[in-house]
């Protein structure tokens, strides 16, 4: 029920933003773009999906070495559809990725280990990207005129990001899934599904630990690839603003892209971050000197990109499901 309420609030917020700025003004701004421009705007996201899929591939164990890159890309795209469309903190599609890998002779333990490790390297890269964006934002906009509360909130957010990421890695090294199992037991909760799979959970923790211990180069490579993937967010910002007639400033694009990621991550509990992401993008562009019309058109164009990839993800999911049916 709460999910549908948040979705309704998000739709209402987006609708009010469009109404306040004026649908006619938005249509006029979007009319400047043609089919070629829309295709060009999609190029950065194509690069992002390909680079991040390779960032996941380098974390896969020996059992997955026979899987071609295009299949890894398709599986990841299918999993991202679940992450993008459900309020599950962008982790709901990760078990699906492991399940689809299992259909191609990759053990479930190895598949789950890879998605946990890849989520970790992606999160570390995301935090680095956000920190870069915050630093550039202060450099470009300056702290002058900013209240002490805003600065304090920013510093607190940075601290929470760094602490949360470090804690996530630390717990994995201590055994993430067995730690969860032990915590549940201490709370007096015994979940039969987990209790019956204690050995597999320990094996999963050991597989993750072995990767961190013996494959550090792959860990750094995956983190670097994901960071490049996040940087394509800035490339997308740069391309969209250029087509909307705004001034070209790559550093501002990096800051806007990173802060947009920060806003989206902070509103994960809203399906698709609807309303919050769009309002956040509008406020961000206003802060960097762009007009309301440019801000909301920018937000809607990014929604267009998301819809395109949701469609592609659904096609990948259908094709992978069809392949499973043929195998059965």
Length of the chain: 328
Terminus-to-terminus CA distance in the chain, angstroms?
37
How high is the pLDDT of residue 44?
95
Mean pLDDT over 21-33 rounds to: 61
Q: How confident is the model at residue 147 (pLDDT cuts 50, 70, 90)?
A: very low
Q: For the whole model, what pTM was predicted?
A: 0.84
Alpha helices in 187-287 (DSSP H): 192-195, 198-214, 216-243, 250-266, 276-287
Which carries the bigger pLDDT value, residue 74 or residue 167?
74
- How far from the centroid of its chain's Cα atoms is residue 22's Cα? 30
Which carries the bigger pLDDT value, residue 200 or residue 55?
55
Q: In whole angstroms, what is the distance from residue 9 CA to residue 3 CA? A: 10
Q: Which of 70-84, 255-269, 310-324 has the highest mean pLDDT?
A: 70-84
CB 64 within 8 A of CB 41: no
């Amino acid at each position: 029920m709460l999910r549908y309420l948040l979705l309704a609030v998000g739709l209402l917020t987006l609708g009010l933003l469009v109404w306040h700025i004026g649908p006619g003004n938005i249509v006029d701004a979007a009319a400047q773009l043609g089919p070629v421009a829309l295709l060009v705007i999609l190029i950065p996201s194509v690069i992002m999906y390909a680079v991040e899929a390779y960032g996941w591939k380098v974390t896969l164990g020996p059992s997955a070495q026979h899987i071609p890159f295009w299949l890894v890309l398709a599986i990841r795209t299918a999993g991202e559809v679940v992450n993008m469309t459900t309020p599950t903190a962008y982790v709901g599609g990760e078990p699906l990725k492991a399940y689809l890998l299992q259909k191609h002779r990759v053990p479930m333990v190895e598949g789950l280990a890879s998605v946990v490790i890849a989520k970790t390297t992606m999160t570390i890269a995301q935090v680095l990207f956000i920190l870069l964006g915050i630093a550039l934002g202060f450099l470009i906009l300056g702290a002058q005129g900013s209240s002490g509360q805003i600065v304090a909130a920013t510093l607190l957010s940075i601290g929470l990001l760094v602490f949360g990421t470090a804690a996530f890695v630390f717990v994995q090294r201590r055994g993430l899934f067995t730690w969860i199992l032990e915590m549940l037991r201490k709370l007096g909760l015994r979940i039969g599904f987990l209790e019956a799979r204690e050995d597999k959970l320990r094996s999963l923790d050991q597989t993750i630990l072995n990767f961190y211990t013996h494959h550090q180069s792959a860990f750094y490579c995956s983190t670097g690839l994901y960071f490049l993937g996040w940087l394509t967010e800035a490339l997308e910002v740069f391309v969209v603003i250029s087509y909307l007639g705004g001034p070209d400033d790559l550093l501002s694009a990096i800051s806007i892209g990173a802060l947009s990621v920060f806003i989206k991550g902070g509103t994960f509990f809203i399906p698709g971050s609807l309303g919050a992401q769009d309002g956040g993008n509008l406020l961000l562009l206003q802060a960097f000197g762009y007009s309301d019309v440019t801000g909301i058109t920018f937000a809607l164009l990014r929604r267009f990109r998301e819809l395109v990839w949701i469609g592609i993800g659904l096609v990948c999911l259908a094709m992978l499901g069809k392949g499973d049916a043929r195998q059965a």
